[in-house]
Amino acid sequence: MSDHRIASIELDERSVVRRTREIEQEREIAIYDLLEANMFKPVDSEGGPYRLVLSVEDSRLVFDIHLEGGGEHGRVQLSLTPLRKVIKDYFLICESYFKAIRNAPPSQIETLDMSRRGVHNEGSELLKERLAGKIEVDFDTARRLFTLLCVLHLKG
């Protein structure tokens, strides 16, 4: 395994409201998949592996990066403003998708799922672009981080 990877991840969820079963499942899957395979390389880093704490503070996504052995590595902050629209669109399409699963015809569910994946991909690409020059990630890592960002964005 590469040393430029996340070995553990924690979400700072102090102000997250209660989540639905579906959202909690998405969070668990994203963390599991992220830890199984990821590429995470902070600029000018000698290597990890890293322990990452993700949080939202003052309309910023915060990456607190530590070395797996415990030493601090750095902190990266991104404004959430450029991501707000795609996050809102993702929440709306997910809500429609989860409602449709209960009683909609398979063709409608499939259409909503394709839309949901499309918006998720858009958010992942945007997150990857916003991280450029700060943290290099591959697309799959960006996808999982976008999912976790959305989970963190569920605040009261």
Per-residue pLDDT of the chain (156 residues; tens, 9 = 90+): 468 999 999 988 775 556 677 777 888 899 999 999 999 999 988 888 999 999 888 889 999 999 987 778 889 999 999 999 999 999 889 889 888 989 999 999 999 999 999 999 999 999 999 999 999 999 999 999 999 998 887 653
Does 127 reside within a domain? yes
CA distance 43 to 87: 26
CA distance 20 to 152: 13
Does 34 reside within a domain? yes
Does 1 reside within a domain? no
Q: Where on the phi/psi map is residue 50: left (φ > 0), alpha (ψ -120 to 50), or beta?
A: beta
Whole-model pTM: value is 0.88
Q: How many domains does the chain have?
A: 1
Structure tokens at 67: 């070395």
> Residue 153: what residue type?
H
- Provide the domain limits for residue 66: 6-152
CA angle centred on 128, ends 124 and 134, rounded to 5°:
150
